[in-house]
Structure 1
């Protein structure tokens, strides 16, 4: 079953797995002590430990798919104890990652964002693409009156010559990827503001991931925003769960939970439930694919991305069934 290249990729990185396994064994060895019932001083009765609270970045918490995946991974690891997810404050992506890196205020414990080599250097990544790699496949949200500008675009050179501007978040890794491929990008630090900028003709295309665009438009509820029907921008950009650099226990719990979900088939079911309809509705198999290079990946994530691209057709066929 094509569930997953990610699992094979993990096992193909021996050094990373050895380090992870060593720390995980130590963590699991300590769990019986951490989860042992505490004796009340007078009665001798055991008191149940309070659920561990995890603060999930608000953009992920508000996304039904990402929240469901985090709950799936945590739920697959009952030996770590009960848990409760909490919505973070409304922080920009850049601020959320800075808070996660510092982790003194505990404003964020878990965030799902696209990976870069830099992010993997100062945060702890769980290197399994949360959406099967679909975030790197982008369609354009546009205004109906600009649709003619997209006609006749068949390759990257056509896109460059069209002078179409693409809107993206200033802290998103998509921005330097698009710019490095010669595409003009207009940015803002807040995701919500970008829709208003599109309406005000500040740019022609708000490029959104296949795994997120239908949810975006459902939230916006604006009939004047449409999805351009013919183009698919494709670049390797795995989307991972990230935790604080010293929070190895949470990282191992999430990774173990996701690996168990991959093995028992529940991860594949998650992908079909949350992304299958989008793959079918967007007609990805009928679109012109414009492939872009991503020079900002670590070696491990580049390996994962190669697997993503090589299995693209098969994965899309499975998700659209």
Structure 2
């Protein structure tokens, strides 16, 4: 098992280096041979998974990354059909799908093996910090929960998507999990008391509340689940050009400060409104990451206080 994980990690490191090397090569060709660039560059449509397209933050980041790479040509970002997360990953892995080009999901060793990740956490690592959407009459169940053992010993069940990596992470930590394949159905299951907590990322939950327009749902005010869970953009394993463009665009955005502006604009409000500084942090282990992504996620977890301070300035 350790050998397998290490092998996957080395494979990913080689892949990341290949992406960076090819990105540099393409940029050099464009600079040295402008006439070649003029012949090659054209407008391209990128089909973004519908749940990412409907998220203002994720769509804004994809568009920011594409704008930072004008040498690749003009672009349009289009909304995909309403595919489940499992289906969208299968479509990407097929390398032949016309249904989706880009999807943002939480990473795992398996996903990095069959798809091409852009190994930069799109939300600064906030997806691994989760709060509970609950029904108001269930709030008392969360009183006195201060650590993992308290949560495991309680009657609290957590709702998650069948194909989400979080499901396996929660189960590996001894937490009771109820699942469904469709994201939208989980809200109805919560209201029907199929589970007590719909765990949502700090970077997602306010958007969920606004999108649902449901006065019956509230955000539990005292608990914060935290585990290493980087969220990456993924493309098909053979779609090297899109991978090169997204990675180069994100690196340029980090270098010129526009990525920090993006994080502050889209996630600063959530960090402040959710009072993350005052919550009891329940730290969970995530045994399903490659070595590279585990270190990315671990650094995010260790720098939680610093990230919260930056986003609320």
Note the C-alpha offset of 1:18: 3.6
The answer for the alignment partner of 1:183 in structure 2 is 175
1:92 corresponds to which of 84, 87, 106: 84
> Which deviates more, 143-152 or 21-30?
21-30
The answer for the alignment partner of 1:169 in structure 2 is 161
| Residues 1:75 and 2:86 aligned together | no
SS at match of 1:36: helix
Q: 1:191-230 residue pairs with structure 2 within 5 A?
A: 191-230=183-222
1:133 corresponds to which of 122, 125, 131: 125
SS at match of 1:73: helix
Note the C-alpha offset of 1:310: 1.9
The answer for the alignment partner of 2:18 in structure 1 is 19
Question: How big is the alpha-carbon RMSD for the aligned residues of Structure 1 and Structure 2?
Answer: 1.6
On the 8 A contact 2:13/2:292 being kept in 1, the answer is no
The answer for the alignment partner of 1:240 in structure 2 is 232
2:38 corresponds to which of 19, 36, 41: 36
On the 8 A contact 1:53/1:83 being kept in 2, the answer is yes
Normalised by the size of structure 1, how large is the TM-score? 0.90
Note the C-alpha offset of 1:26: 3.6
The answer for the alignment partner of 2:110 in structure 1 is 118
The answer for the alignment partner of 2:45 in structure 1 is 53
| Residues 1:143 and 2:135 aligned together | yes
Map Cα deviations across residues 275-316 of structure 1 (whole Å, 9 max, x no partner): 000000000000000000000000110111121112111110
Normalised by the size of structure 2, how large is the TM-score? 0.92
| Residues 1:259 and 2:261 aligned together | no
2:95 corresponds to which of 91, 99, 103: 103
Q: Count how many residue pairs are aligned between Structure 1 and Structure 2.
A: 299
Q: Give, in whole Å, the separation in 2 of the partners of 1:162 and 1:276.
A: 32
On the 8 A contact 2:268/2:312 being kept in 1, the answer is yes
SS at match of 1:240: strand
The answer for the alignment partner of 1:303 in structure 2 is 295
SS at match of 1:206: strand
Q: Give, in whole Å, the separation in 1 of the partners of 2:51 and 2:73.
A: 25
Map Cα deviations across residues 118-169 of structure 1 (whole Å, 9 max, x no partner): 0000000000000000000000000000000000111111101112000000
Map Cα deviations across residues 98-135 of structure 1 (whole Å, 9 max, x no partner): 00111323100000000000000000000000000000
Q: Give, in whole Å, the separation in 2 of the partners of 1:30 and 1:243.
A: 23
1:65 corresponds to which of 40, 57, 62: 57
On the 8 A contact 2:127/2:230 being kept in 1, the answer is yes
CA change 1:113–1:291 in 2 (3 A) is: same
- Larger-Rg structure: 1
Note the C-alpha offset of 1:33: 6.5
Map Cα deviations across residues 59-86 of structure 1 (whole Å, 9 max, x no partner): 0000000000000000000011111101
On the 8 A contact 1:100/1:106 being kept in 2, the answer is no
Q: Can you give the 5+ residue segments of structure 1 that lack an aligned partner in the other structure?
A: 1-12, 39-48
Q: Give, in whole Å, the separation in 2 of the partners of 1:103 and 1:128.
A: 22
Q: Give, in whole Å, the separation in 2 of the partners of 1:14 and 1:241.
A: 16
Note the C-alpha offset of 1:25: 3.3
